Amino acid sequence: MPETRTYGRRRRQLPATTSKTEQAGFEVGKREAVSGRVVSTGAGGPTQMAGWEAMDKTAAASGSDMYLKVTEDATVIKICGDGPFDVFNSHWIEEIEDGSKSVRCWGTPDCPLCVIGDKAKRFSACFDVISLEDPSTPALKVWEAGIKVARQLKDIATDTKRGPLNRADLYFTIKKEQKKKNVEYTLERVKERDLYEEHDIEPLSEVALEAFLTECHQWGDKVKETLDEDAMDEVVDLLMES
């Protein structure tokens, strides 16, 4: 049976199940991409964007334009790496009034939020993609994919006939659809030779593609920084006092 822990006036259930990260075949903190290899999307050595230490502040200042916005209309994208550069679970803390309510889980048994019974419910796998939403102005974006799409991408990446994800002749479309209370995402592969006929979009030139690749993340870079012990303690106190 799941163990019930009480803190403050809140009760949380701790189910004895495998984490979504492990179920998807990803391991947080280990140098493995979906393909089983170390992701290296840059053109040798650290890239300009590697080691973003103030990621949350940067995203806030730019209006989060760095993220791919998936809509009901299919967006053509090209995935830059052969796997995600960042994989994590996050807690959703509704009680936070100032700042992001999403808190990155430490991914360890001593995560303060996990210890008090707050389950990390959201899985994220982050990919560098070139968005062709506006074909005249391609843009490098971070695509934060959920568990279902991440599994689809893993299947493609590890398939010798369909993968890797960053094959020169491979593009994708991604869109979402609201179904009752759930949002469903549809991912489709598009061969370069069919890109113009099916979507009226010209493939990226080698020069343009290489320019984008020099700005990509490396495996281990983080889009959402992990809170330190003091900050985590503040979140825990907030929960216990609510």
For the chain, which residues make up each domain, given as ranges?
10-45+54-229
Eight-class DSSP state of 83: S
Q: Is 218 helix (H, G, I), strand (E, B) or coil?
A: strand
Q: How far apart are CA 58 and CA 124, in angstroms?
A: 19
Is 177:90 a contact under the CB 8 Å cutoff? no
Q: Quickly list H helices, the chain.
A: 20-23, 55-61, 112-115, 147-157, 195-199, 206-213, 229-241
Query: How large is the average pLDDT for residues 118-138?
Result: 94
Query: Which of 36-45, 114-123, 133-142, 147-156 bottoms out in mean pLDDT, i.e. has the lowest?
Result: 36-45
Residue with tokens 């929960």, as numbered in its chain: 239
Task: With a cut of 50, say whether residue 109 has pLDDT above it.
Answer: yes
Task: With a cut of 70, say whether residue 202 has pLDDT above it.
Answer: yes
pLDDT for the residue numbered 65 = 83
Please list the residues that pair with 127 across neighbouring strands: 143
Task: With a cut of 90, say whether residue 72 has pLDDT above it.
Answer: yes
pLDDT for the residue numbered 242 = 66
**Per-residue tokens: 103:** 């808190």
pLDDT for the residue numbered 165 = 96
Task: With a cut of 50, say whether residue 198 has pLDDT above it.
Answer: yes
Query: How large is the average pLDDT for residues 95-101?
Result: 84
Is 7:95 a contact under the CB 8 Å cutoff? no
pLDDT for the residue numbered 224 = 86
Residue with tokens 């700005």, as numbered in its chain: 215
Task: With a cut of 80, say whether residue 197 has pLDDT above it.
Answer: yes
Phi-psi region of 46 (alpha: psi -120 to 50; beta: other; left: phi over 0): beta
Task: With a cut of 80, say whether residue 219 has pLDDT above it.
Answer: yes
Query: How large is the average pLDDT for residues 86-105?
Result: 90
Span 132-178, pLDDT tens digits: 999 999 999 999 999 999 999 999 999 999 999 999 999 999 999 98
Query: How large is the average pLDDT for residues 23-30?
Result: 43
Query: How large is the average pLDDT for residues 32-57?
Result: 37
pLDDT for the residue numbered 182 = 86
pLDDT for the residue numbered 88 = 95
To the nearest whole percent, how much of the chain has pLDDT over 90?
63
